């Protein structure tokens, strides 16, 4: 299983008056982690978009454990939580410099044709990418 990591320095604009990261910014950080994971597997999401394929979010689960604060460097860890050939669930954990878990969550996605928004099979349209997902899924050791 591949776990991608990306470091972010918390910017002032991402925080509230108390210097605590605003909850919506964690979604942006998850997107950064997801993009990094895809690149670490050897692919670029932008290339898929050029082919008329999108990957909309279908679900989000966000759990806040401890506040990330202005000036800290946080680490986003991202992996493939679940994958069935059409639907993809990414897992996330964000920890601060002290190693304290600030956030955990998942986001669900599906690949769709841009013009129709109808789901497509990753296995059929992007077989190499499908193999990379199969290889790196968290539960693959259990299957």
Question: Which residues are the active-site residues?
Answer: 16
**Close Cβ partners of 47 (under 8 Å, ≥ 6 residues apart):** none
Per-residue b or e along 29-44, where b marks 16 or more CB atoms closer than 10 Å to that residue's CB: bbbebbbebbebbebe
Instruction: Decide if 95 contacts 78 (C-beta within 8 A).
Output: no
């Amino acid at each position: 299983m591949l776990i991608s990591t990306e470091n972010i320095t918390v910017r002032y604009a991402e925080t509230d008056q108390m210097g605590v990261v605003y909850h919506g910014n964690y979604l942006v950080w998850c997107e950064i982690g997801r993009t990094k994971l895809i690149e670490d597997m050897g692919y670029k999401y932008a290339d898929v978009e050029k082919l008329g394929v999108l990957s909309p979010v279908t679900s989000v689960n966000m759990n806040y454990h401890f506040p990330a604060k202005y000036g800290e460097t946080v680490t986003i860890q991202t992996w493939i939580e679940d994958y069935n050939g059409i639907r993809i669930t990414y897992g996330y954990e964000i920890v601060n410099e002290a190693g304290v878990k600030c956030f955990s969550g998942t986001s669900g996605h599906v690949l769709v044709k841009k013009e129709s928004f109808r789901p497509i099979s990753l296995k059929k349209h992007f077989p190499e990418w499908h193999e990379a997902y199969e290889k790196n899924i968290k539960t693959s050791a259990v299957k």
